[in-house]
Amino acid sequence: MSVRVLIIDDQNDVRRLLARHIHTGFESPSVAEYEPAARGRLPGDFSGSAYDAVLLGDQPGREIGVDWLRDLSRRNGFPPIIYLMLRPSPEAEELAIYAGAHACLSRQKIDHGALIAALRAAQARRGQFSRPAARADETARASRFGDALIRGFRFVSQIAESRVSSVYLAESERTGGEVALKVLHQPPDEGSGLRNFDRFLREYQIAAAIEHPNVARVHDFGVADDHAFIAMEYFPLGDLRGRIKQGLPPLRAVAFMRQMAEALRVLHGAGVLHRDLKPGNVMLRDESSVALIDYGLSKHVELDAAITNSGEIFGTPYYMSPEQGHGRDTDERSDIYSIGVIFYELLMRRKPYVAGTPMQVIYKHAHAPLPELKAELIHFENVLYRCIAKDPGQRYHSAEQLLDAVRELERDELER
């Protein structure tokens, strides 16, 4: 049987050229064309079942092609998609593959051999992996996460839940690997849901641009059943809270402090404040390395308009800087304060400031004396106090400066 192809692109000449390539490479192919600018989005119930492959241009109807790619690739039984890019790059190709592309090719200079090879591979995959319609209900049940049906992932278990979102352990149908799937509770068009959705979107945008061993990897982002979701790296060992309860040798605490500072340097270098640093957002990659997660409360330093309302407080009071707790302007030194509080907890196995209410904890951060360390840990006080000084001007001015100090502290600890 010959190949059946659907071409989705707004340029007539591109569609005709692709059709000629297909007719040259296959005997009696079936080629259909779709013009997004004139006809809009494909209907939600369109499954592409009549085709072996889809050629999708990267600017359909003046929209973002990756959004189309995510939507179509998650439809049950949809044929493999060959993504055609005007300006191919390794970064763009990686993003397209994560979004569901079977292959990526240049649409500016079409390589006949690569196109035909990609179509033949798609045709073979279509025949091998197409699912019978009778399994659609079963697939839908496996892809249900709370109120959201998120195709492309299979439910394994629920990991955590908060007022804003739920986190699930899921299996990626594309890679077979485990991911942590964070799903926003509120649809983005409902009141405060818009603000939460903006934070969710920024979380993806930030993480997608950063590659560092101490920053968690984000694999995918999308909206399903009006619920935004992020698929991120899963950490089977959990977060720092368990290790704090068990107790850590001082050298391990310093090593974790250094890795957190290295992650902060990358985030701040990208113009980002985390603003919600706490042990629950510091994940164990293995027994000796950590990675920061959850930029849902983060903020681009360069943005003129803040997402949060004036004076609105986000974060966790136990780890908030005095200025953040009182709703004042924050900068990199506020994150440095939070890391200092975590460092104290790593060393002492308790929080520096506790009280009966969140506001009392916030008050203590601003007015209580600096917490003391045990006598055998007194040599850590200088670095600790430069992190958690009440006055931001007395703290380390940058993550780079903090990192230099922690590296020296680590060298000294190794020589003890």
Q: What percent of the chain has pLDDT over 70?
A: 86
389: left (phi over 0), alpha (psi -120 to 50) or beta: beta
Greater confidence, 324 or 415? 324
Q: Confirm if 377 and 392 have CB atoms less than 8 A apart.
A: no
Instruction: Name residues whose C-beta falls within 8 Å of residue 160's C-beta, 6 or more positions apart in sequence.
Output: 166, 167
For residues 378 and 190, the model is more confident at 378
Helix (H, G, I), strand (E, B) or coil at 350: coil
pLDDT of residue 312: 42
| pLDDT (tens digit per residue) in 177-223 | 899 998 887 665 555 555 656 666 666 677 677 889 999 988 887 77
Question: Quick check: is 276 catalytic?
Answer: yes
Q: Which residues of 356-377 are buried (b: 16+ CB within 10 A; e: fewer)?
A: eeeeebbbbbeeeeebebeeee
C-alpha of 226 from chain center: 18
Mean pLDDT of the 83-102 span? 85
Q: Which CATH number fits domain 136-233: 1.10.3720.10, 3.40.50.460, 2.60.40.1250, 3.30.200.20?
A: 3.30.200.20
297-316 pLDDT, tens digit each:
555 454 333 333 334 444 57
Residue 192: predicted pLDDT? 53
Which of 276, 329, 404, 412 is an active site residue? 276
pLDDT tens-digit readout, 112-152: 988 998 899 888 877 654 444 435 556 667 889 988 889 88
CATH architecture of 4-129: 3-Layer(aba) Sandwich (3.40)
Cα separation of 267 and 300, whole Å?
10
Higher pLDDT, residue 225 or 268: 268
Is CATH 1.10.510.10 the right assignment for the domain spanning 240-415? yes
Question: What are the sequence ranges of the domains in the chain?
Answer: 4-129, 136-233, 240-415
Nearest CA to 67 out of 194, 175, 221, 170 is that of 221
